[in-house]
Structure formats: C-alpha cells, structure tokens
Amino acid sequence: MIYAVTPYGRGGPSSRVRVYEWLDRITEPRQVSGYISHHNAAPAEVARHPLAVLRAERRLRRMASERPERLLLHKEASPLSRGALEQRLLASAAFAVYDFDDALQWDRGEGSAMRRLAPKAPKALAAVRHADRVIAGNPILAEWAAEHSGDVVLIPSCVAPERYAVKESYAVSDPPRLGWVGSADSEPYLEAIAPALEEAHRRSGARLTLIGTTVQRLGRLERLIDRVAWSEHAQHEMLAGFDLAVAPVPDELYERGKSGYKLLQYAAAGTPLIASPVGVNRDILAELGMPGPESVAEWGEAIATLLEEAAEDRAERGRRARGVAQERYSFDAWLPRWRAAVGLDR
C-alpha cells in the first residue's frame, strides 16, 4: 500500500502530473488524499468549502495515526499548515518521500493574509529535512534539496505523448495560429511579449489561442486572442493545431524553479515552439532544437522566423521535439525510476 498526499485533486496540473498519472500506472493498492479535491487550494477556494476543509484536516491526521508503510507527500499536505502536519505525516511512515516541482523554498507567502500565515518556504524546508527521500522536478530544485537531504532523486514532470494528437501538416495556416496553454496565474507572462505578438498579428493576421480560463484579462491583447476553456481533452487534441506554441516566462527567482512542462506538452504534439530560456527551459529548448529568445525584439524575430520557415524544416523541428518527449520525458521512460524512488521495489 502506498499513501499519497497532495494539495489538489486530479484537476490540479501539478498533482495530476506528479501523483495521479504515476498511480494510474501501477497495480499496487493506494490511498490518495487530495485535500478538498479541487483544482487548487488557494485561500479563496478553501474559504468557500469549510466542511470539506474540516474533513480533509481530520483525514490527514487519521492517516498519520495509521503509520503507513509508504508515504508520498507532494508539495504540502494542507494549505493551512505551517509545517507541523507535514512533519507528522512524514515521521509516521516507515518510508516517506517528499516530491516537489516548484520553487516552494522561495515562496515566502507574499499576497493574502492566509498565505502570509502559512508560507510554503518553511513548510518545504521542513518536509525536505524530515523525508527519507526527496524527489525533485528539475536540477535547480534538486541542488537546493541536496543542501538539506542526503537522498535526492531527480525525476522531471513527464508527459504521455501517446495521448496527444500529433501534428500532421506543417503548412502555416492563413491566418497563422499561435497557441498557449496554462493557468490564469501564468497568463500575465504573455503581456511581456505583447509587442511581438501584436507585430505578428499586424504582419500576418496571426491570432493566439489560449487554452485555460475564458475570462478576458489581457487588455489590448484580447483583440487577437481566442479563448478555450481548459480540459484534458482540449490540451491533448488542440496543441497539434497550432502553427507555433509560445511559453514566455519572466527571469525571476520563483520562475527559475519551474519544471518546463508546457514545453514538453507542445513537444508531445510535434508542434514548433518558442520559450523563454529560464531555468530548466534552457536545457529543454536545447534538446528540442527550438529557439529561446530573451528580449522582446528577439521574440518578434523568432516568431517571424518559425512562421516563415519552409514546411519541411518546421516538420523536422516537430518530429525531433516529439522524439525527445517520447524518449527522455515520457512517463513510460521514467516509470522504473519513479517506482524505485517511492519504494515500491523495496
């Protein structure tokens, strides 16, 4: 039996990729606590479901009292905890693993009062110190974790390429179709490259499809944006329809610890992409053979270059990217290492 504790339900991207997708691939019995089973555990979301929160807090304490044989804790057990609950859970298990794929160690609780009361940085530090093993989502996180733990395993956030529709035609649409997938929290990153997107629209009529929230919040960019509500089906089927996918990220401390998952999603569909070379993105871009512009001017040049490339060259980029996703970043490729990391082969 493996007990898995994660702050979100399957609808939360991090929990789905780091916990649920792995559990789907094993036959061993499991028990999962997804807190209130929502797609996020933001203060506003938690406040709207007091009874569910009460049940979740009781369930976690009961789980600790059961002293599980194997425990996998992803990110945090509770958004209300300051670290004591995470320590208790990890200490209760015969073999405890802490998994994280964001730079929680640099999240000091900026924002709402609830976040200031229960910041993630001290919680992550306590979890890393008390776990028998730590699974880090990228080298930057692994390097930090190794300062506080003697057993750190690197496992990237993986994709399932077999679920993605694969791009077949690399002739550019008229007008060109740019694409992006993500959460409302990361949408503002697009504003940093707004001039490049607007220039592409002016030159070719290019439009940008956002798979995420349907709430308009990007000001002047909305005139060239088409929005599609996020769903697993949408992200698996629509990425192959983009002529070019984009993933801008600011070069800031927290963002340097991100996993590069968007890039791998685009690669799984065989879609040419452009991304900011921040953190692990730089290495992934090099593997995929895709551009990593840093300035707005470079973003404009990269968009124009990839849209104007011959279809054969775009197809070669797409095939290379999908091959990398399959061979180096798929769940199937990493499953033996994950099983060993969480103690299933002990």
d(CA 234, CA 40): 19
Helices (H) and strands (E) in the chain, counts: 15, 11
Estimate to the nearest angstrom the gap between the alpha carbon of 338 and the chain centroid. 17
Question: Would you state the pLDDT for residue 112?
Answer: 62
Report the interhelical angle of 261-268 vs 281-288 (nearest 10°): 20
Q: Is residue 346 part of a domain?
A: no
Say yes or no: 216 and 135 in one domain. Answer: no
Q: Model's pTM, two decimal places?
A: 0.93
d(CA 48, CA 172): 45
Based on the structure, what is the number of domains in the chain?
2
Question: Would you state the pLDDT for residue 42?
Answer: 75
Say yes or no: 335 and 323 in one domain. Answer: no
pLDDT tens-digit map of 265-324: 999 999 999 999 999 999 999 999 999 999 999 999 999 999 999 999 999 999 999 999
Q: Is residue 121 part of a domain?
A: yes
Amino acid making up residue 135 = I
Torsion sign across C-alpha atoms 133, 134, 138, 143 = negative
Say yes or no: 202 and 262 in one domain. Answer: yes
Supply the range of the domain harboring residue 22.
2-158+331-341
Collect the ranges in the chain with pLDDT lower than 70. 111-115
Evaluate whether 135 touches 239 at the Cβ level (below 8 Å).
no
